[in-house]
Amino acid sequence: MRRLTRNFVAICSTLALTAGLAACGSGSDEAGGAGDTIVAETAFNLKTIDPHRQFEFTGSTIDSAIYQTALEFEDGDLTKPTDGLCSFEMSEDSKEMTLTLKDEDAKFSNGDPVTADDIAFSFERLQGIKGNPSFFLDGVKVKKVDDKTVTLTSEEPNPALPYILPNSSIGIVNSKVVKENEGTTDEKDGAEQFLNENSQGSGPYKVEKYDADSQVVLTANEHYNGPEPKYKRVVLRNVSAETQLTDIQSGQAQVAYDLNSDQAKQIDESMGKISSLPSTRSLYIFNNADEKIGGPAADPNFRKAVMAAIDYDKLIDLAGKGSQRMASLVPNEFVGAVPKDEAPERDLEKAKKLLKEAGYDGEKVPFHYSSDQAVNGVDLAQLAETLQAQLKEAGINLDLKPAPSSTQLDGFRSAKQPMGIGTWGADFPDPTNYNVFIPGGDVADRVNWSDDPKLKKLADEAAKAKGDARDAAYAKLFKATTDTAVWIPLVQPVSTVAVGSSIKKFVSNADISFDFAKAE
């Protein structure tokens, strides 16, 4: 979607719907949207909307509407960070970024102007409070140079930094007000509750009501210096996917985030429109490289036989329209992605030959997965059963080992599971976020994969690459990683947003699933 071959094409859904079903209800929080209100629904994954602490989908969705960032991705193009509140320059050695305040008319929701002090404080608070997203600026020294300039300095080259700063977890807050309400740049910070109820951003909306269990209400920021949103009020409700479907169908909601492919098919043109975008999630098989734990899975020929036995086209059918093949774990829209036409293909004869070379004689191999988890509509239990049937055709016998998500994650982290299904969601759209899968990385440790001289050499070369050369260097690294079959990429699932027919135009792209401020 956002890239054809190696060139990026952002998808912005701007729709003119000819048939309309007017939104119902009185405009109250409980009823469907009316007039200048949008009702959006999702199954909440929400702990906080303090931007420097939140690291969940719902919190990110909300903060993207409340806070502006130093840099951004224009029209959802994740390959090219652009100016946000600031313009930027990277030093030749990629160790220093210079940010220059560009949007001097930007104002917080109380009317205060955004300053270099606010930018520096926001970065330092992100680092100092040690919340989940603090790692984004690990090893980075923040310095305010003058009233318009802030520098970010790293000891090692940090070419990923421009791709990190657009994240909503690095939203710029009103430092003066936050400090007045127990905000600090260390672990003594006590501003979280204040920010949950009194947002301090310069984006198009501000928080009116926050209830992490039921709903969050946003209203327009009258001091926002961008185009005035048509919809002055956003009600985000916590409901199941089943309820989201009926509410979109009836007009009680205008946006639904969690419909699976079967549910999406039940939305006809009179009810609304489906925006399907490839997600930034990767589904894969992991194989433990320790022979004592992995057994057959530790043998390269067995792993490659598994890779050759999978019917990838049927996995695409399972994942739904808009999902994609993957040639590595890096999503197809990112710098460093391996072209899809290099993805593994099914070849049962090749698989059987490799099994013979591995000395595999049909013994059962434990295969672990989360029994209660669906990733962008892909049920992992169904996926495991599908893989079991496909591999059986090649003579591979998987012994399915379902477990609740929390139990399975602990098991995977213990590095004691022979095989299974893994999932990864990008923290930021840069290939360095996938270095954890290279021998010596945190995730590679979970399959006891500690050394591979060829990959180490390629990783060193990729780290030294600059500018446009990074794309090819990282693609080479991750293609070689796939070739080991320690990780077998399965599918890049689709991200589906259902939009009710009362919304005539909207923007949905790789960077933001639905832009409330641009809806009409």
pLDDT in tens, 1-53: 333 332 333 333 333 333 332 333 333 444 565 689 999 999 998 999 999 99
The CATH number of domain 281-492 is 3.30.413.10: no
Q: What gap in Å lies between CA 100 and CA 70, rounded to an integer?
A: 9
Kindly report, residue by residue over 234-281, the tens digit of the pLDDT: 999 999 999 999 999 999 999 999 988 889 999 999 999 999 888 899
Q: Do domains 9-43+204-277+494-520 and 281-492 have the same CATH topology?
A: no
Asked if 487 and 423 count as a contact pair (C-beta separation under 8 A), the reply is no
Sign of CA dihedral 227, 228, 230, 236: positive
Q: What is the pLDDT of residue 103?
A: 78
Superfamily of domain 66-202: Dipeptide-binding Protein; Domain 1 (3.90.76.10)
CB burial of 267-303 (b: ≥16 within 10 Å; e: otherwise) equals beeebbbbbbbbbbbbbbbbbbbbeebbbbbbbbbbb
Measured distance CA(315)–CA(312) in Å, rounded: 5
Token pair for 465: 């690459």
Binning pLDDT at 50, 70 and 90, where does residue 486 land? Answer: very high
What mean pLDDT is predicted for residues 354-383? 94
- Which positions ≥6 away from 43 have C-beta within 8 Å? 238, 239, 240, 241, 258
Which pLDDT score, from 0 to 100, does residue 21 have?
28
Q: What is the pLDDT of residues 285-314, one digit of tens each?
A: 999 999 999 999 999 999 999 999 999 999
Number of alpha carbons in the 13 Å side-chain half-sphere of residue 387: 27
Per-residue confidence (pLDDT) for residue 32, from 0 to 100 = 62
What are the tens digits of pLDDT across the range 82-137?
999 999 999 999 999 999 999 789 999 999 999 999 999 999 999 999 999 999 99
What would the mean pLDDT of 140-151 be, rounded to a whole number?
A: 98
pLDDT band at 377 (very low <50, low <70, confident <90, very high): confident
Tell me the per-residue pLDDT of 155-178, one tens digit each, with 9 for 90 and over: 999 999 999 999 999 999 999 999
In CATH, 9-43+204-277+494-520 is 3.30.70.20: no
The domain segmentation of the chain, as residue ranges, is 9-43+204-277+494-520, 66-202, 281-492
Residue 477 reports pLDDT greater than 70: yes
Average pLDDT of every residue of the chain: 92
Does residue 403 surpass a pLDDT of 70? Answer: yes
Angle at 165 between CA 179 and CA 510, to 5 degrees: 125
Distance CA 60, CA 46 (A): 9
Question: What pLDDT does 501 receive?
Answer: 94
> Residue 478 pLDDT more than 90?
yes
